[in-house]
Structure 1
């Protein structure tokens, strides 16, 4: 399993996943509607979330390996995301980093190139980095 995952997320308190898909012209890899539940005992979701995952050919993918995948979605998609952001949706590029060995330099550090930053700017999105350290420090 890669130490990194990357995806675009759209969050909206009013739109359904189908409406977001229609506006973006793409289907999500994952979506959750307002009112749905993670589990039966959890409260209903207060917002819709729509996600498109960047996947790479190798399991050791780093953010710079996933960057071409996101850029390959094109500037039309980024512009459509920006229009959703203007209409009240929240757009973000999410990077999840899992660190199991702090000494493994391939699993640490995050680099984002200017083309990806420009794409994210067109999408009027934010950057969300989640880092999880799983290490026994005895």
Structure 2
């Protein structure tokens, strides 16, 4: 399993997913509508979410391995996202999720984004959201645990 995954997220308080799709000229991999509920007892959502996943190619699935997928979506899609973001009708972000399970594995460390990807994100009017999660068993007997922090 890869330590990284990415997805493009569009959030709007005024547009439903179908309207976002129409403005972008393509549909999402998943979406939630304004007014929908997570569970029947949950309050209605105040915003719509439109998500396109970045599928991992064969290999480790590091951010630099996922970049060609995003760049392959092309400049026209980035421009459409940029127009949507500039309109104020939606916020666009690239979400990078990092799950660190082995602090000694160099494939799980670091996030590198190329100038080409940063230019694509700028054209898309997208922010970058990095979510990091560390899962490890800490050794409370030693001076340092496997995660690298000092034990009490």
TM-score under structure 2 length normalisation = 0.87
**1:49-88 equivalence runs, <5 A:** 49-58=49-58, 60-88=60-88
**Conserved? CA contact 2:82–2:123, under 8 Å:** yes
Q: Structure 2 CA distance, aligned partners of 1:66 and 1:11?
A: 22
Query: CA deviation digits over 1:75-131, x for unaligned, max 9?
Result: 000000011101111000110011111111101110000000000000011000000
Write out aligned runs for 1:17-36 (5 A): 17-36=17-36
Q: How many residue pairs were aligned? A: 138
- Unaligned runs of 5+ residues in structure 1 are none
2:128 is matched with 127
> 3-state DSSP class of the match of 1:82?
helix
List runs of 5+ in structure 2 lacking aligned partners.
140-152
Higher relative contact order (CA 8 A, sep 6+): 1
RMSD of aligned C-alpha atoms?
A: 1.0
What residue number does 2:106 align with?
105
Which whole-Å CA distance do the structure 2 matches of 1:99 and 1:62 have between them?
Answer: 12
Q: Is the 8 A contact 2:98 2:131 kept in 1?
A: yes
**Deviation beyond 6 Å, 4+ runs, structure 1:** none
Contact 2:11 2:47 in 1 (8 A): yes
Q: 1:31 Cα deviation (Å)?
A: 0.5
Match of 1:2 in 2: 2
8 A contact 2:9–2:92 mirrored in 1: yes
Cα drift, residue 59 of structure 1: 5.6
Cα distance, 1:34 vs structure 2: 0.8
Provide the rounded CA distance (Å) in 2 between the counterparts of 1:40 and 1:105. Answer: 43
